[in-house]
Amino acid sequence: MHIARNIPGVQIVNADSRQMYRGMSIGTAKPSSCELNAYPHHMIDVADPDVLLSAGWYAREAMKIIESTLDNGLIPLVVGGSALYIMSLAGLLDPLPERNDALRLSLNAVEDAVPGSLHRLLQGLDLQESERTGEADRVRLIRAIEIGLISGSKASALKNGGRPDGRFRFVFIEVDNKTLRHRIRSRTAEMLEAGLLDEVKELLEKGFSRDPVLGSTIGYAELLDHLEGKCSLEEARERIEINTWHYARRQRNLFRRLPGVVSVSSNPMQLEAALFGERRAGG
């Protein structure tokens, strides 16, 4: 928003996978209604939390907005914390089959019944992929099996590094561990004080369940556990902090691997210079 205020024509394209859902505002630190009105935003509040949006879907929809923005002589600024969505948008992921929830449910049931089944199944389908996937990594095992069964091809053969879109410039805001941990603690406390628990209750009252979105979203999943009597509110708060820290570290590792990425501090002027230095200088 600092950049949009200083540089005419900037259009903010959200890439936070959970800010796209209506009713999930406090727990995703969504921009306020005043901020949304003051600065052009896209890809916020585009779906209800009863449908799980995919990175592939996001890439297609966000690219429509980006192309339209460019056609109108404006500047698309993609902002957000979901590295997978940004990678998909920038063509850094291979075009793979969409997720199949019915198949995933069945595969999870098989693994629950006979632990180790998924890894053995993947060995039969794709030995190369099984060798680089841990036996306990259920998420990757299911995805690799899903790709193989739906596409009829091996997941290892389909992963070629995508088709990078060279128009993107990547800038990553670096924050040291101590500061990041402090911000996570502060943000968790602020969200709870702002009424995150009531927000979760409201979503339940509207008929939304744990699956497919709320139960897989940090902040909401832990408070659902609290409401179900599985933990105290204080325990839920602690889990939110821990899970956010682990998630932030994973995302940081992914962002650091973006091609040509430039790391800057959180100083808005440094960020603006990294993104638009040439443009501001007339380039």
Query: What is the tens place of the pLDDT at every residue in 87-133?
Result: 999 999 888 888 898 999 999 999 999 999 999 999 999 999 999 99
Q: What is the DSSP letter of 26?
A: T
User: What order of strands is seen across the sheet that includes strand 10-14?
Assistant: 41-42, 10-14, 75-79
Q: What is the CATH number of domain 101-158?
A: 1.10.20.140
pTM attached to this predicted model: 0.84
Domain with CATH 3.40.50.300 in the chain: 2-93+163-280
Residue 13 tokens read as: 């394209």
Nearest to 95, CA basis, from 154, 157, 159: 159
Higher pLDDT, 175 or 81: 175
The CA distance from 235 to 225, in Å, is 10
- How does residue 157 score in pLDDT terms, banded at 50, 70 and 90? confident
Mean predicted confidence (pLDDT) in 181-190:
97
What is the average pLDDT value for the chain, to the nearest integer? Answer: 93
- How does residue 278 score in pLDDT terms, banded at 50, 70 and 90? low
Backbone φ and ψ of 252, nearest 5°: -60, -40
Query: What is the tens place of the pLDDT at every residue in 216-242?
Result: 999 999 999 999 999 999 999 999 999
Mean predicted confidence (pLDDT) in 269-274:
88
Mean predicted confidence (pLDDT) in 245-272:
91
- How does residue 271 score in pLDDT terms, banded at 50, 70 and 90? confident
Domain with CATH 1.10.20.140 in the chain: 101-158
CB 146 within 8 A of CB 100: yes
- 2-93+163-280 adopts what CATH topology? Rossmann fold (3.40.50)
